[in-house]
Structure formats: C-alpha cells, structure tokens
Amino acid sequence: MAELPPSAHPSLVHCPPRNVLFFGETGVGKSSVINMLIGENTDAACISSGAQGCTFASASYEATISGEQFVLWDTVGLNEGEKGKTPPVVAERNLRELMHNIKGGLSLLVYVIRGTRFREVVRINYDLFHRMICDQKVPIIAVVTGLENEERMDAWWDNNEADLRKFGLVFKANACITASRGKVLKTGCHAFEDEYEESRGKLLKLIPQSCSPEPILIPMQSGEGILRLDTGHSRHGSNGDVDDNNEQALVMNLLWKLISLLLRCIPKNPLSSETNTH
C-alpha cells in the first residue's frame, strides 16, 4: 500500500492561526488585555499610562489559547482628543496599513471599552470597525475593563446592555473584567489578584468560543465601492490600475464625512456610565 503524503494525514495538517483584532480608545486597556491572553511574566504589549498614546501603530502577538494558535492584533487608539495623542491622519493611515497586513482574514473583533468611560466615540468606533470596515461579517465581542471595584463585575453588563442596544451596539458575547492586578499589598499579594485571575479565565474561554468557524476575508474592493459611492469617482485609471496618488485623500474624505454624519445622528445626552450594583 502506498504511503500517504504528510499533507494527507489529518493530524499533520497545518491550521493557520486565527487573527483577532482588538480596538478601542487609548487608555481603556487593550494592551493589558492582550498581555493577559499571552500569559507571559513580562508585558509584551506596551501599556499606555501617560499623555502620549503608547499604542501608536498596530502590532501583532502570537498566543496559544486552548491548544489553538492565535495572532492578536493591537490597534492604534482612535478619537483621542488633541494634545499628546495620535494625530487623525496617522491613525487613519495606520488603520489602512493594518487591514493590508492581516493575512488570511479575521476571525474575531474585540472591542475594549471602559466601564466608567462612555463617550460618543464609543459608537463611532463600533460603526467604523464592525459595520464599515468588516461589513458586519466578523463576530464582535465586548470586553469591559476597569471593574475591579465592583461587587460583582458581571453586574455592569446587566445594568447597561439595554442602553448599548439602544445605541446600536450589539455583541455576540461579553466579558466584564479587570485588566490590572492592582498595587502590591504588605502581604506581598496584589490588591485585585483574585479578580484578575477570574477575568483572565473569562477571556481564555471567550476568545476561542466567539471566533467565526472560518476566517472572514476583508477585500479591498468593499472599501473601494464605498469610495465610489461617496465621491462619484473610481480609484482605477483608464488602464485598470489603482491610482495611488488619490487613494489617501479619498479615504480621509470618506472617514471624516462618516464621523461627521454619525456625530449629527447621536443624541445630545451621552450614554450614562453609572451602574447600580446590589
């Protein structure tokens, strides 16, 4: 009997890693969440604690979760204000480069938000990534950070899910966590060690469960079609090649028109961040 080649043995078939994209404003804890999943003693993803956004451009980190290989993508913070923050032009450029660099498609979007920090840009970022870029085809989950002082972290979701849905933010699943161990106590333990380990367990279970069965490709043609719809012009020249000279201006024009439109549609009263724990 002829011996089967290695590729014919199911146990030897190579499964490409799943791409998971983390996004959210600078300071909400994206890098800390990624470090929880990597599980290393040293912080692999740079953590932002000062005025200047630390997660200035996208970066990727390999992780093994439940025996599966993942590539975790950390993105530039968006809509961060002015002084000491990521310039809008740089944020937009980094975002486009990131979508070019992710090979093999996306399996999951992870939107990291802070439980006590709700602003209008929360919905804008959701719409930009989930609806505009991924066309609502990639599963999205919410990771809510900063809940270490809550009596029951999951109570935050119970109290706020209805408001999130009212503002159009719908998620496949969620994890209410703390991404910080807190300060070291006199006993040598960290103040929020138990909450941190509970949170890490949630993430290690939630990420593999929430991924799409097959990676979702994000074709450039989708964005190109939006550009034509918005400007009335195609990026292709007469010979069929892409006109790179106008690409950046067109994308910037589209992006900020979208943000302006969303801001006009958002009610004046922002979503309340207050929670009532029992």
Assess contact for 76 and 91: CB atoms under 8 A: yes
pLDDT at res. 78: 54
Q: Rounded CA gap, 224 and 230, in Å?
A: 10
Mean pLDDT of the chain: 74
pLDDT (mean) for 4-9: 49
Pick the closest to residue 268 from 160, 164, 120, 128 (CA basis).
120
pLDDT at res. 226: 38
What is the fold, at CATH topology level, of the domain defined by 16-219? Rossmann fold (3.40.50)
Q: What is the pTM of this model?
A: 0.71
Pick the closest to residue 18 from 104, 81, 78, 95 (CA basis).
104
pLDDT (mean) for 1-5: 52
Q: Rounded CA gap, 185 and 272, in Å?
A: 33
pLDDT at res. 39: 79
Whether 173 has a pLDDT exceeding 90, the answer reads yes
Which pLDDT band holds residue 25 (cuts at 50, 70, 90)? confident
Summarize pLDDT for 57-116 with one digit per residue, the tens. 568 899 999 999 999 998 865 554 444 455 656 666 666 677 777 888 999 999 999 997
Q: Rounded CA gap, 170 and 126, in Å?
A: 9
Q: Which residues, listed in sequence order, are joined to residue 63 by a DSSP beta bridge? A: 70
Question: Radius of gyration over alpha carbons of the chain, in Å?
Answer: 21
Tell how far CA 6 is from the center of its chain.
37
Which pLDDT band holds residue 254 (cuts at 50, 70, 90)? low
